[in-house]
Each structure stands twice: as C-alpha cells, then as structure tokens.
C-alpha cells in the first residue's frame, strides 16, 4: 500500500513520493495490505522500501554480504559506493513474528523524505530467514530506544536530537484501499485525516507502545480481556493477535473454520457478522467484521485473528493494521501516550 511520508519542520510540511501498492477491495472485503515507505541511505542516496514498525526500534536493510534467499530478491546496500559510510564490529540479532535476521551495526546518512539524519546508526543484514517473498527490503523501527536489539539510537530519536522535527510525535493514517494514499507524519499531526477529537491513552510504562485495554466484546458480551489486558499498537503487523485459547474462541463465535494455516468464513456472511469492540481507556473502538476479514489469492475469505507468538505473563493483544485502518493513531513520545480517533 502506498505510504506517503510527511515531515513537519516547524510550520513547513514536506511531502515525499512514496511507495507500495499491494492491495485492493473486492466485494467489500480487503485483500491483504502491506504499508511501506521509501527512505534513502548513503551519499549518493540509495533507495529502499521499508515497513515503518511501532513494535521494534531498529532500522536495517540487506547488505551485499547477505547470501540468504530473501536478500537476493531485495535491494542491498552497496556500502563501497557511499562516501559517508562507516563500519563497526558490533553484531546483533532480531526475531520478529514474520522472520529473523542477523546483522552488523554501521553508520551513514539516512533520509526519510526531507528529514535527514547524519551519522545514523543502523543495521545491515548478513543473514535473513522468513522474509522471502516480502515486498519490502527492510524495517524501520519507531519504538523507544530501550527495546533496540542493536543498541543503536533509533532514527526518530536521532532526528529529535538533531532538531529536525518540532515535536516528539509521529502519526499514521492507513487507508483502506489502493485508491487512497496512506501517510506517516513526523513531528506533527494533520487533522484532515481523522474525525472528532483524539482520545489520549497513557502508556502502561514509558518505553513501549503498549496501553491498557478494558475488554473485547461482541454484542455486549465480553469475549476476551475480561479482567483487563495489555494491547500493543503495532503498525508492522497486519493482524490482531492474542492468546491462542481466546483467539480460538473468537474464531468459533464468528463461525470460522481452520483450513491450512488460516481460519476461513463464507464471504457471503461477512456483512451479516457483528462488529468486535475493543474498549480502551473508557472509549469503545468498534471494528466491523468486513474490516477483520481479508481475501486470499483465490478470493476466499479468512479472519485476521491469529495466535500470538508472544508468551507474556499477562494477557496481551497486538492491534495491527486491521484495527489501525479504522483509527488514526498518534504516538506522542514526549508525553508517553497514544492518541486514537476515527479515521476519515
């Protein structure tokens, strides 16, 4: 999905051409979307397509030393062609829900639109697993510095430190189909992308985009998070993920049946299914069934609820893009809070 990058430098907004389109809407049901944006690295600049991910903190792209099958189909950074590149001997590993990588920490100039971070530490992958067939080259983490696996200062914090952005805030508008543009904003919020007021939700603790969720309900019946739970607001995940037992219960409630790795429903019943309501900080956030069900390549309808690979001590849910397409989201690092409002 096309993702436009907007940097607010004081009162001057900078718009950048963007990226991806793998999306569509068929009979009211969305085909799986991925949201990516362009960045450049090096001098002269080399262009990469990355996922902007609020659940991780590290920026990385493939290196020319990576021989994994995933790297051969993606753009690899040619470090010898950059006059501003320098190498370290520090290595690191990251495991994501979708794959894992091993890399080395390096430094160079990174540009997100007209926002420039000089001497930015980031990772070059030397091994990748699970990223085969993905449209994006790498990942740009927007979480807090304390969850960085490489130990490098994240690019958002570096931009703040360099005075490149006016406020320690970024925001996402994720559109519902490929005819509209999606936007990530740095340093400010564009009010044209949401209706009404922003509802501010404090983070459970500074250092992760996780908030307290009161309940998950269908038709006023609590189906999960009955004693309150944690919710990670995650732009890098398509699905809504939670504990296996509770996810299985939701699949049964909506009549979904497991075939292969996905739970399917008849496309003809999608518009008759009730909304699922996520209650956060006293505010209800309904997500209609048609938003929670996607189509596969054969045109069959499957649900976006998935078993989480996390095994925390408390009940934790991941609210991914299917939730964030409905709700414009603001990430306020200065006040350790998230703002949510109905997306236009």
What does DSSP assign to residue 135? Answer: S
User: By CB neighbour count within 10 A (0-12 exposed, 13-18 middle, 19+ buried), where does 276 fall?
Assistant: buried
Assess whether 234 carries a catalytic annotation: yes
| Residue of 18, 234, 321, 332 with catalytic role | 234
- What letters, b where the CB count within 10 A reaches 16 and e where it falls short, cover 305-339? bbebeeeeeebbbbbbbbbbbbbbbbbbbeebbbb
What does DSSP assign to residue 193? Answer: G
155: three-class secondary structure by DSSP: helix
What tokens were used for 188?
A: 């400010």
Q: What is the DSSP string of 285-322?
A: EEE-HHHHEEE-TTS-EEE-EEE-S---SS-EEEE-HH
What region, left, alpha or beta, does residue 113 occupy, with left being phi > 0 and alpha being psi -120 to 50 degrees? left
Report whether 198 contacts 180 (CB < 8 A). Answer: no
d(CA 237, CA 79): 30
Report whether 134 contacts 70 (CB < 8 A). Answer: yes
Assess whether 177 carries a catalytic annotation: no
| Residue of 18, 53, 58, 321 with catalytic role | 53
Instruction: Identify which of 245, 249, 186, 260 has the alpha carbon closest to the alpha carbon of residue 223.
Output: 249
d(CA 160, CA 2): 26
d(CA 281, CA 214): 7
Q: What is the DSSP string of 229-277?
A: EEEEE-TT-SSEEE-HHHHHHHHHHTT-EEETTEEEE-GGGGGGSPPEE
Query: 32 CB contacts (<8 Å, ≥6 apart)?
Result: 22, 23, 238, 294, 295, 296
Q: Which residues are catalytic?
A: 53, 234
């Amino acid at each position: 999905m096309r993702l436009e990058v907007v940097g607010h430098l004081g009162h001057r907004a900078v718009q950048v051409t963007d990226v991806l389109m793998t999306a569509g809407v068929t009979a009211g049901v969305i085909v799986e979307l991925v949201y990516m944006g362009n960045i450049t690295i090096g001098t002269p600049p080399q262009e990469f397509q990355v996922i902007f991910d609020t659940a991780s903190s590290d920026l990385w792209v493939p290196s020319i030393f990576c021989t994994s099958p995933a790297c051969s189909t993606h753009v690899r950074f040619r470090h010898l062609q950059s006059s501003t590149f320098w190498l370290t001997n520090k290595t690191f590993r990251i495991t994501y829900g979708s794959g894992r990588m091993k890399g080395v920490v390096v430094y160079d100039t990174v540009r997100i639109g007209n926002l420039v971070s000089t001497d930015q530490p980031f990772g070059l992958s030397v091994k990748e697993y699970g990223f085969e067939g993905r449209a994006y080259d790498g990942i740009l983490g927007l979480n807090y510095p304390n969850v960085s696996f490489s130990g490098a200062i994240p690019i958002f914090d570096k931009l703040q430190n360099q005075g490149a952005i006016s406020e320690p805030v970024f925001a996402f508008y994720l559109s519902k189909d490929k005819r509209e543009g999606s936007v990530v904003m740095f340093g400010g919020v564009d009010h044209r992308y949401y209706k009404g007021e922003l509802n501010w939700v404090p983070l459970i603790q500074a250092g992760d985009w996780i908030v307290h969720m009161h309940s998950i309900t269908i038709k006023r019946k609590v189906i999960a998070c009955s004693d309150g739970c944690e919710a990670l607001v995650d732009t890098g995940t398509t699905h809504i993920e939670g504990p296996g037992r509770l996810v299985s219960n939701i699949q049964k409630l909506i009549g979904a049946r497991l075939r292969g790795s996905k739970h399917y429903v008849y496309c003809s019943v999608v518009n008759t299914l009730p909304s699922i309501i996520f209650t956060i900080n006293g505010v209800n956030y309904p997500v209609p069934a048609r938003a929670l069900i996607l189509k596969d390549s054969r045109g069959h309808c499957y649900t976006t609820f998935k078993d989480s690979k996390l095994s925390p001590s408390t009940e934790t849910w991941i609210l991914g893009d299917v939730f964030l397409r409905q709700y414009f989201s603001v990430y306020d690092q200065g006040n350790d809070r998230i703002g949510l409002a109905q997306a236009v």
